Amino acid sequence: MFAVYLVLGISLQATLSTACNVTIISRDDWGARPPNDHDHMNTPVTAVLIHHTDRDHCTTKAACTQELKDMQNFHMNNQSHSDIMYNFMVGEDGNVYEGRGWNTVGGHVPAWNIVSMGIAVMGNFQRGPPNQVALAALEGLLGCLIENHKLTPDYKLYGHRDVAHTNCPGNSLYDVIKTWSHYDSGKPVLPTKTPSQI
Protein backbone atom coordinates (compact mmCIF):
# COMPACT_ATOMS: atom_id res chain seq x y z
CA MET A 1 0.00 0.00 0.00
CA PHE A 2 1.09 3.57 -0.57
CA ALA A 3 0.79 5.99 2.30
CA VAL A 4 1.09 9.75 2.32
CA TYR A 5 1.65 11.62 5.57
CA LEU A 6 0.99 15.34 5.95
CA VAL A 7 2.86 16.77 8.90
CA LEU A 8 3.11 20.53 9.44
CA GLY A 9 2.30 20.99 5.77
CA ILE A 10 5.17 18.74 4.61
CA SER A 11 4.30 15.66 2.56
CA LEU A 12 6.22 12.60 3.69
CA GLN A 13 5.79 9.61 1.43
CA ALA A 14 6.56 6.01 2.30
CA THR A 15 5.96 2.88 0.30
CA LEU A 16 4.75 0.27 2.74
CA SER A 17 4.58 -3.46 2.17
CA THR A 18 1.22 -5.04 1.40
CA ALA A 19 2.40 -8.19 3.21
CA CYS A 20 1.39 -6.85 6.63
CA ASN A 21 -1.19 -9.13 8.19
CA VAL A 22 -2.98 -6.36 10.08
CA THR A 23 -5.45 -3.56 9.37
CA ILE A 24 -3.90 -0.15 10.06
CA ILE A 25 -6.28 2.80 10.31
CA SER A 26 -4.57 6.01 9.20
CA ARG A 27 -4.67 9.29 11.09
CA ASP A 28 -6.94 10.74 8.44
CA ASP A 29 -9.35 7.83 8.77
CA TRP A 30 -9.79 8.21 12.53
CA GLY A 31 -9.84 12.00 12.39
CA ALA A 32 -6.60 12.90 14.15
CA ARG A 33 -5.76 16.54 14.75
CA PRO A 34 -2.59 17.85 13.09
CA PRO A 35 0.43 17.71 15.42
CA ASN A 36 1.87 20.87 16.93
CA ASP A 37 5.38 19.63 16.21
CA HIS A 38 7.13 16.73 14.50
CA ASP A 39 10.56 15.14 15.07
CA HIS A 40 11.77 12.62 12.51
CA MET A 41 12.82 9.24 13.95
CA ASN A 42 15.77 7.38 12.47
CA THR A 43 14.60 3.85 11.70
CA PRO A 44 14.85 0.95 12.06
CA VAL A 45 14.80 1.11 15.85
CA THR A 46 15.88 -1.79 18.06
CA ALA A 47 13.29 -1.63 20.85
CA VAL A 48 9.53 -1.65 21.36
CA LEU A 49 7.80 -0.44 24.52
CA ILE A 50 4.32 -1.83 25.17
CA HIS A 51 1.79 0.31 27.04
CA HIS A 52 -1.85 0.29 27.96
CA THR A 53 -3.74 3.55 27.71
CA ASP A 54 -5.33 3.10 31.18
CA ARG A 55 -8.52 4.51 29.69
CA ASP A 56 -11.74 3.10 28.25
CA HIS A 57 -11.80 -0.18 26.34
CA CYS A 58 -13.22 -0.19 22.82
CA THR A 59 -14.47 -3.11 20.76
CA THR A 60 -15.81 -1.31 17.67
CA LYS A 61 -14.14 1.03 15.20
CA ALA A 62 -16.58 3.81 16.10
CA ALA A 63 -15.86 3.50 19.82
CA CYS A 64 -12.10 3.28 19.25
CA THR A 65 -12.18 6.34 17.01
CA GLN A 66 -13.97 8.39 19.66
CA GLU A 67 -11.57 7.16 22.34
CA LEU A 68 -8.59 8.14 20.19
CA LYS A 69 -9.94 11.64 19.66
CA ASP A 70 -10.57 12.05 23.39
CA MET A 71 -7.11 10.70 24.20
CA GLN A 72 -5.37 12.95 21.68
CA ASN A 73 -7.20 15.98 23.07
CA PHE A 74 -6.14 15.01 26.60
CA HIS A 75 -2.50 14.50 25.61
CA MET A 76 -2.34 17.79 23.69
CA ASN A 77 -4.62 20.04 25.75
CA ASN A 78 -4.01 18.76 29.27
CA GLN A 79 -0.51 17.32 29.14
CA SER A 80 1.06 19.73 26.63
CA HIS A 81 2.26 17.00 24.24
CA SER A 82 2.70 17.93 20.59
CA ASP A 83 0.44 15.03 19.53
CA ILE A 84 -1.02 11.79 20.83
CA MET A 85 1.83 10.12 22.72
CA TYR A 86 2.16 6.72 21.02
CA ASN A 87 3.38 5.64 17.59
CA PHE A 88 0.49 3.19 17.30
CA MET A 89 -2.56 2.14 19.31
CA VAL A 90 -4.33 -1.23 19.19
CA GLY A 91 -8.05 -1.59 19.82
CA GLU A 92 -10.02 -4.61 20.96
CA ASP A 93 -11.85 -4.28 17.66
CA GLY A 94 -8.75 -5.87 16.08
CA ASN A 95 -7.56 -2.72 14.34
CA VAL A 96 -4.26 -0.89 14.66
CA TYR A 97 -4.52 2.90 14.71
CA GLU A 98 -1.75 5.17 13.52
CA GLY A 99 -0.63 7.66 16.16
CA ARG A 100 2.65 9.45 15.56
CA GLY A 101 3.28 6.68 13.11
CA TRP A 102 6.17 5.06 11.31
CA ASN A 103 8.77 7.83 11.18
CA THR A 104 8.01 10.20 14.06
CA VAL A 105 9.56 10.28 17.53
CA GLY A 106 6.97 9.28 20.12
CA GLY A 107 6.17 10.93 23.43
CA HIS A 108 5.66 7.79 25.50
CA VAL A 109 8.84 7.52 27.67
CA PRO A 110 11.51 10.23 28.03
CA ALA A 111 14.96 9.15 26.77
CA TRP A 112 13.45 6.07 25.10
CA ASN A 113 11.22 7.99 22.67
CA ILE A 114 13.94 8.50 20.07
CA VAL A 115 15.13 4.88 20.04
CA SER A 116 11.92 2.87 20.37
CA MET A 117 8.43 2.36 18.99
CA GLY A 118 5.74 3.06 21.55
CA ILE A 119 2.66 0.87 21.08
CA ALA A 120 -0.35 1.11 23.38
CA VAL A 121 -3.26 -1.31 23.69
CA MET A 122 -6.41 0.69 24.38
CA GLY A 123 -7.90 0.01 27.81
CA ASN A 124 -6.79 -0.92 31.32
CA PHE A 125 -5.23 -4.38 31.60
CA GLN A 126 -4.36 -4.52 35.27
CA ARG A 127 -6.93 -7.25 36.03
CA GLY A 128 -7.46 -8.97 32.70
CA PRO A 129 -5.64 -9.27 29.37
CA PRO A 130 -6.70 -7.77 26.05
CA ASN A 131 -8.92 -9.97 23.91
CA GLN A 132 -7.41 -12.30 21.33
CA VAL A 133 -8.09 -10.05 18.34
CA ALA A 134 -6.17 -7.20 20.00
CA LEU A 135 -3.23 -9.47 20.82
CA ALA A 136 -3.21 -10.83 17.26
CA ALA A 137 -3.26 -7.25 15.90
CA LEU A 138 -0.36 -6.31 18.19
CA GLU A 139 1.69 -9.26 16.96
CA GLY A 140 0.75 -8.45 13.38
CA LEU A 141 1.91 -4.86 13.83
CA LEU A 142 5.29 -5.99 15.14
CA GLY A 143 5.77 -8.14 12.06
CA CYS A 144 4.67 -5.28 9.83
CA LEU A 145 7.20 -2.92 11.41
CA ILE A 146 9.96 -5.43 10.68
CA GLU A 147 8.69 -6.00 7.13
CA ASN A 148 8.86 -2.27 6.46
CA HIS A 149 12.31 -1.79 8.03
CA LYS A 150 11.03 0.33 10.90
CA LEU A 151 12.08 -2.26 13.49
CA THR A 152 15.12 -4.55 13.46
CA PRO A 153 14.43 -8.31 13.26
CA ASP A 154 16.35 -8.80 16.54
CA TYR A 155 14.45 -6.07 18.40
CA LYS A 156 13.93 -6.19 22.16
CA LEU A 157 10.46 -5.97 23.65
CA TYR A 158 9.75 -4.30 27.00
CA GLY A 159 6.77 -3.27 29.03
CA HIS A 160 6.63 0.39 30.03
CA ARG A 161 7.25 -0.66 33.66
CA ASP A 162 10.60 -2.17 32.66
CA VAL A 163 11.99 1.30 31.92
CA ALA A 164 9.96 3.57 34.22
CA HIS A 165 8.25 3.53 37.62
CA THR A 166 4.69 2.63 36.59
CA ASN A 167 2.15 -0.20 36.54
CA CYS A 168 1.82 0.15 32.76
CA PRO A 169 1.01 -1.93 30.70
CA GLY A 170 -1.07 -3.52 33.46
CA ASN A 171 -0.28 -6.80 35.18
CA SER A 172 -2.31 -8.97 32.80
CA LEU A 173 -0.93 -7.55 29.55
CA TYR A 174 2.56 -7.59 31.02
CA ASP A 175 2.18 -11.28 31.84
CA VAL A 176 1.29 -11.93 28.18
CA ILE A 177 4.17 -10.04 26.58
CA LYS A 178 6.68 -11.68 28.94
CA THR A 179 5.95 -14.98 27.15
CA TRP A 180 6.77 -13.55 23.71
CA SER A 181 10.11 -14.45 22.15
CA HIS A 182 11.46 -10.90 21.85
CA TYR A 183 10.72 -9.97 25.46
CA ASP A 184 13.99 -9.07 27.19
CA SER A 185 13.96 -10.20 30.80
CA GLY A 186 17.34 -8.60 31.51
CA LYS A 187 17.94 -5.08 32.73
CA PRO A 188 16.95 -2.76 29.85
CA VAL A 189 19.84 -0.84 28.33
CA LEU A 190 19.03 2.32 26.43
CA PRO A 191 20.11 1.70 22.82
CA THR A 192 23.02 3.82 21.61
CA LYS A 193 21.97 6.79 19.52
CA THR A 194 23.45 7.19 16.09
CA PRO A 195 24.70 10.64 15.00
CA SER A 196 21.44 11.20 13.08
CA GLN A 197 19.44 10.62 16.30
CA ILE A 198 21.31 13.17 18.41
Report the amino acid identity of residue 29. Answer: D
Whether 2 is covered by a domain: the verdict is no
In a domain? residue 10: no
179 dihedral zone (left: phi>0; alpha: psi -120 to 50; beta): alpha
State which residues form the domain around 36.
20-197
Give the CATH number, domain containing residue 31.
3.40.80.10
pLDDT tens-digit profile of 46-78? 999 999 999 999 999 999 999 999 999 999 999
pLDDT, residue 21, reads 87
In a domain? residue 36:
yes
Has residue 183 been placed in a domain? yes
User: Does 14 map to a domain?
Assistant: no
Task: Specify if 7 maps to a domain.
Answer: no
Q: Is 12 contained in some domain?
A: no
Could you give the CA distance from residue 32 to residue 36 in angstroms, rounded to a whole number?
12
- Taking the C-alpha atoms of residue 155 and residue 48, their distance in angstroms, rounded to an integer, is 7
Q: Which residues does 164 contact at the CB level (< 8 Å), separation at least 6?
A: 109
Residue 120 to residue 58: CA distance in whole angstroms: 13
Global pTM? 0.88
Per the structure, the count of domains in the chain is 1
Residue 13 lies in a domain: no
> 16 falls in which pLDDT band (50, 70, 90)?
low
**Which amino acid does the sequence have at 163?**
V
